[in-house]
Structure 1
Amino acid sequence: MDMIRIATRSSSLALIQTQTVVEAISKRNRKTEFEIIEIKSQGDIDKKKPLWKLSEAGFFTSAIEAALRENQADIAVHSYKDLPIEAANGLVVGAVLDRRYCQDCLICKNKIKSLDELPKGGKVGTSSLRRKAQLLSFRPDLRCEPIRGNVHTRINQVEKGEFDATVLAYAGIERLELTDTVSFEFKPTEFLPSPAQGALAVQARANDHEVLKLLSAIDDAKSRVSSDTERLVLHKIKAGCHTPVGVYAKIEGEFLEIYAFVADENGKNVIRKKIKGQLKAAVKLADEMASELLKSGAAELLKNG
């Protein structure tokens, strides 16, 4: 293709992530040119409402998907964790890539090495029920308060003393070259990430075979398998993107370990499970994990949480 139009959010992080996709495509298609189409999502416009109070899916992605459907763009770049679990009508994920970091990290004005070092009753900024539930399960005394805005805005709020700390995805911090602000990284087997966290997803129209062929060349198998396995668990237990659920699929050679947790939003009731099996049986393992969670009361916990 001579020209590829790319729809993306307009934040600094989104544009950096889009550039990663541009570079991946350019390595294999040196004559291709790109047009970046910046779109403001509802999530970019409404920066005050806590994420867990949002009823609509696709808060950060629907406007971008609309541009793709209406042929205003050829592909769309997303943080995969932001895409609704239900498949988008007429669109497919043609490539998943660059999942180098899936873990969360803590940012604190005074560098610390663990949650134990936060002050008693410390105020932690997070708009994620998943993070809130896990923080409170480890430190019930903490006060988890909503925080919105881009990565720089959240870090600035911590540095100004509005919060004692905040928890963010390490992948975004690394892409923005802000790793010097990180106090410590959580182990993803202990503080579980959002399904597909850290991965980039590139959408295209399902009938655009030329674009899909091009995207297949940049698809990273490990990034896709781990991300899709985690998202399948979420789908099977009928949980949304903003629920207190974490899933981490760890690939080790020919084996796959899946860690999952479901909790109420205050972290008082928590279900944790772990299973291991053959990587080639990833879908079956995701089904088994979902079944184990449901048998342990995950549906009731999410309903009443």
Structure 2
Amino acid sequence: MVLLRIATRGSPLARAQAALVADALVLANPGIAVETVVVETLGDRVQDLPIEDLGDRGVFTRSVQVALLEDRADVAVHSFKDLPTEPMRGCQLAAVMCRADPRDALVSKDGCRLTQLQKGARVGTSSARRTAQIRRARCDLSAVGLRGSVGTRVQRVHEGDLDAAILAVAGLKRAGLSSVISEVLDPEVFLPAPAQGALAVEVRDDRPDIARAVTRIDHAESRIATSAERAFLRGLRGGCNAAAGALAVVSGDHITLTVGKFDEGSLGAEVLKGHTNEAVALGYRAAELVLAGGSVQAS
């Protein structure tokens, strides 16, 4: 029996995501056993400051990667949207799990939809991307900083501290909280974060045997879609909390990539289409268009 140690953050959602990876690894590799190694990250330790004030990329991933590199774990599991686009030396992306719903959701106190929230309603989020899109969709709403676990954020809404909050559909479902969703937000109104809903599984470069085992749970379509989205983010030279969104849809050999950068004066979404073997190039092309101020569809 081969034991694989899986490094993860300690939040309930992170543990649930690590369990999904563990189950998939055991199913795909008979003879493997797994155990969880819980790692505290900077983002876990410091929750009284906005993410952008922590002064470091990878605030939810770097410590997990260090555990992998220091041989305290064999596998590292991340929410892919939290993983910096600049690779960590010594680590390799061995698998992208089959992606869950990438969209954002509104959780509101009274079950209201976004259009039904009262003027001046307080909407919680820690994301610059979500904040910008709240203001674009409803300039009469007030975006309020919100940190903490998925359960904590939902609780603040239900206790009346906030009128609503925006969270990832995938995170709510994995945390067993799908029943609190008031509205799943249309990506045409709210573009999700690049790679939102996907789980990334890393291994060390010097362990090809472990890489082979992990590669068996890789989902090709999810890898292609997220590679285009993350290439867009990297082309913008933006971090994981940049005010930018991207969503790629793969259909056969073709990919459609919708992107947006929600800065003041931005011109809205760009839509590009191409072949799946050009997914990364398509993402970089999208970034070039956005940075150049393009406003027409490209294909």
- Counterpart of 2:276 in structure 1 is 279
Tell me what 1:153 maps to.
Answer: 152
Offset, 1:53: 2.4
* Offset, 1:297: 7.6
Name 1:77's counterpart in structure 2.
77
Q: Unpaired runs of 5+ in structure 1?
A: 299-305
Q: Which residue of 2 aligns with 1:244?
A: 243
SS in 2 for 1:144: strand
Q: Which amino acid letter does the alignment assign opposite residue 293 of structure 2?
A: S
What corresponds to 1:104 in structure 2? Answer: 104
Q: Is the 8 A contact 1:260 1:273 kept in 2?
A: yes
What's the counterpart of residue 169 of structure 1? 168
| Deviation for aligned residue 1:283 | 2.3
Answer yes or no: is 1:292 the counterpart of 2:278: no
Letter in 2 for 1:10: G
Aligned partners of 2:102 and 2:169 also within 8 Å: yes
| Contact 1:189-1:248 at 8 Å conserved across structures | no
The one-letter amino acid paired with 2:144 is E
Q: Which moved more, 1:53-62 or 1:76-85?
A: 53-62
Give the partner amino acid of 1:83. L
The aligned residue for residue 95 of structure 2 is 95
- Tell me, in whole angstroms, the C-alpha distance in 2 between the residues paired with 1:46 and 1:237: 27
Do 1:52 and 1:243's aligned partners in 2 also have CA atoms closer than 8 Å? no
Q: CA deviation at 1:269?
A: 4.1
Return the offset for 1:271.
3.5
* Cα drift, residue 176 of structure 1: 1.4
CA distance in 2, matches of 1:98, 1:10: 22
In structure 2, distance between residues paired with 1:125 and 1:297: 31
* Correspondence list, 1:230-269, <5 A: 230-264=229-263, 269=266
CA-CA distance at 1:116 after TM superposition: 1.2
What code does the residue aligned with 1:285 have?
L
Q: Which one-letter code corresponds to 1:259 in the other structure? A: T
Work out the CA distance in 1 between the residues paired with 2:4 and 2:117: 47
- How far the C-alpha of 1:268 sits from its partner, in A, is 5.9
Q: CA deviation at 1:162?
A: 0.6
Alpha carbon RMSD of aligned pairs, Å?
A: 1.5
Q: Could you list the runs of 4 or more consecutive aligned residues of structure 1 that deviate by over 3 angstroms after TM superposition? A: 267-271
Moved more, 49-58 or 195-204: 49-58
Residues in 1 aligned to 2:133 and 2:182: alpha-carbon distance in whole angstroms: 18
Structure 1 residues 128 and 270 mapped into 2: Cα distance closer, same or farther (>3 Å)? farther
SS of the aligned residue for 1:27 comes to: helix
- Equivalents in 1 of 2:60, 2:28: separation in Å? 29
Q: What TM-score results when the alignment is normalised by the length of structure 1?
A: 0.93
Give the percent of matched residue pairs that are identical in Structure 1 and Structure 2: 37
Q: Is residue 105–residue 184 contact of structure 1 (8 Å, CA) maintained in 2?
A: yes
1:131, 1:244 within 8 Å by CA — same for their partners in 2?
A: yes
Distance 1:297 1:285 in 2: 15
Question: 8 Å contact 2:227–2:279 — kept in the other structure?
Answer: no
Amino acid at match of 1:178: L
Aligned: 1:207 with 2:226: no
In 2, Cα distance between the equivalents of 1:20 and 1:42? 24
Could you tell me how far 1:51 is from its partner in structure 2?
A: 1.6
Moved more, 131-140 or 183-192: 183-192
Within 5 Å, which residues of 2 pair with 1:213-232?
213-232=212-231
Q: Secondary structure at the match of 1:225?
A: helix
Quote the Cα distance in structure 2 between the aligned partners of 1:269 and 1:293. Answer: 8
Given that 2:7 and 2:64 are in contact with CA atoms closer than 8 Å, whether structure 1 keeps it comes out as yes
Alignment partner, residue 121 of structure 1: 120
Q: Which residue of 1 aligns with 2:59?
A: 59
Counterpart CA distance in 2 for 1:124 and 1:229 is 30
Cα distance in 1 between the residues matched to 2:105 and 2:125? 12
**CA distance in 1: counterparts of 2:187 and 2:25, whole angstroms:** 30
Q: Which residue of 1 aligns with 2:191?
A: 192
Greater Cα shift, 201-210 or 251-260 = 251-260
SS in 1 for 2:190: coil
CA distance in 2, matches of 1:52, 1:282: 29
> Distance in 1 between the 2:82 and 2:281 partners?
24
For 1:262 and 1:19, locate their aligned partners in 2 and report how far apart those are by CA, in whole Å. 34
Shift of 1:280: 2.6
Aligned length in residues: 295
Inter-partner Cα distance in structure 1 for 2:188 and 2:65: 32
Is the 8 Å Cα contact of residues 52 and 127 (structure 1) preserved in structure 2?
A: no
* Distance apart, 1:281 and its partner CA: 2.2
Q: Is the 8 A contact 2:5 2:75 kept in 1?
A: yes
What residue is the counterpart of 1:86 in the other structure? 86
Match of 1:2 in 2: 2
